[in-house]
Amino acid sequence: MDKQKRILLSKRPEGMPERNHFRIEEGPVPSLGENQVLVQTVYVSVDPYMRGRMEDTKSYVPPFKLGEVINGGIVGKVVSSRSTHFSAGDYVTGHLGWQEYNAADENNLRKIDPESAPLTAYLGALGMPGLTAYFGMTRIGSPQEGETVVVSGAAGAVGMIAGQIAKIRGAEVIGIAGTEEKTRYLTDTAGFDKALNYKTEENLHEALKDACPDGVDVYFDNTGGPVSEAVYPLMNDFGRIPQCGAISSYNKSGDDYGPRIHPYIVKSRLRLQGFIVSDYAREFESGARQLGSWLQEGKLVYEETVNEGFDSIPDAFLGLFEGKNLGKQLIKVSEE
């Protein structure tokens, strides 16, 4: 085992990225420095925010560098260790390179317990997307019993958890997603009260108006764009909008203006707040504990789309922008 596969950013996209923006190549398996751990990649997470990192612009995370290995959330198995904290056979999660093996600093890894939850959950419902849903919904959306909550991108990793948290809080929850399979999952499995397909509704605004006869108190927004424009006029006075993401614009170049939101914000005294999950980093442990209890109590369910094989990582990432995933999109790279 001296060679491995790895994936580099080969050029920066304008608009929708394509397969040729990534390069798969062979490289050496890294040797370990002091306090480092050799981690074999088992599951790779692909996430929409990585699209922003493909561009050389200022954001809350630095851009990927051209010609360097892409990195993101990974669950892996320790194969050898020069750290006193980790031993061969331990399962870990961390922010690591898209390669089959990483030499990781012990400080960048967290041990995870495969007995208390499936390994994949640490990249989804119990990981970054679950925590995003938890803090965005409970701290910013803050739904009250009997209020109406709308979630866009509702059948994705964050959206399906956000909607269920609002249900736990006693709200009426309406999800918006892009296929019939997804809307069916939301109502039949995830316990949403109603779900609408934004791709097939002739007039999404009118359909939402019917679905939300008392207006909308909380709009957990993952998408922005035309979906959000259908929701804004329905917001009730003092409504809250946790602005979690804006995936509809991630592949747009140039200005992309829709109807102006400002009159709605003033007229209905709305509070729209962008947030990044890391804003709540100090509370991750308690958030994960709460999500874990809800999972164990059966109050929370989640779904995953797991593609197989290291070479399928770029396509799985691109698929996020075509709505190919139901729930968390992962890639299985090696056996558990």
Ligand X SMILES: NC(=O)c1ccc[n+]([C@@H]2O[C@H](COP(=O)([O-])OP(=O)(O)OC[C@H]3O[C@@H](n4cnc5c(N)ncnc54)[C@H](OP(=O)(O)O)[C@@H]3O)[C@@H](O)[C@H]2O)c1
Q: Which residues bind ligand X (CB under 6 A)?
A: 47-49, 129, 132, 153, 155-159, 177-179, 182, 222-223, 225, 227, 244-248, 275-277, 320-321, 323, 325, 329
Alpha-carbon distances of 38 from 79, 81, 92, 127, rounded to whole Å? 6, 6, 11, 22
Residue 200: CB minimum distance to ligand X, A: 11
Token pair 């909308």 is at which residue? 216
How far apart are alpha carbons 265 and 135 in whole angstroms? 22
Q: Which helix (H) or strand (E) holds 313?
A: helix 313-319
How many angstroms separate the Cα of 290 from the Cα of each of 79, 247, 299?
31, 27, 11
Q: Which is nearer to ligand X, 6 or 167 (CB)?
A: 167
State the CB neighbour count (10 A cutoff) for residue 275: 15
- Identify whether the C-beta of residue 64 lies closer than 8 Å to the C-beta of residue 21: no
Residue with tokens 């003033």: 266
Least spacing, CB of residue 59 vs ligand X, in Å: 11
State which residue, 103 or 196, has the beta carbon closest to ligand X.
Answer: 196
Residue closer to ligand X, measured from CB, 119 or 133: 133
Burial 13-44 (b: 16+ CB within 10 A, else e): eeeebeeebbeeeeeebeeeeeebbbbbbbbb
Nearest of 71, 132, 147, 141 to residue 279 by alpha carbon = 132
Find the Cα–Cα–Cα–Cα dihedral 18, 19, 20, 22, rounded to 10°: 110
Q: Which is nearer to ligand X, 80 or 243 (CB)?
A: 243
Rounded to a whole number of angstroms, the minimum distance from the CB of residue 146 to ligand X is 26
Please state the closest distance from residue 85 (CB atom) to ligand X, in A.
28
Residue number, nearest CB to ligand X: 156
- Measured from the CB atom, the residue of 36 and 197 that comes closer to ligand X is 197
**Which tokens belong to 323?**
């709505």
Whose Cβ is closer to ligand X: residue 48's or residue 239's? 48
CB of 224 to ligand X, least distance (A): 8
* Least distance (Å) between residue 106 CB and ligand X: 26
User: Measured between alpha carbons, how far is 48 from 223 in angstroms, rounded to an integer?
Assistant: 11
Residue 180 Cβ vs ligand X, minimum distance, rounded to whole Å:
10
- Please report how close the Cβ of residue 328 comes to ligand X at its closest, in angstroms: 6
In the complex with ligand X, which residue's Cβ is closer, 97 or 124?
Answer: 124
State the Rg of the chain over Cα.
20
Q: Which is nearer to ligand X, 227 or 300 (CB)?
A: 227
Check the CA dihedral 313-315-320-323 and report its sign.
Answer: negative
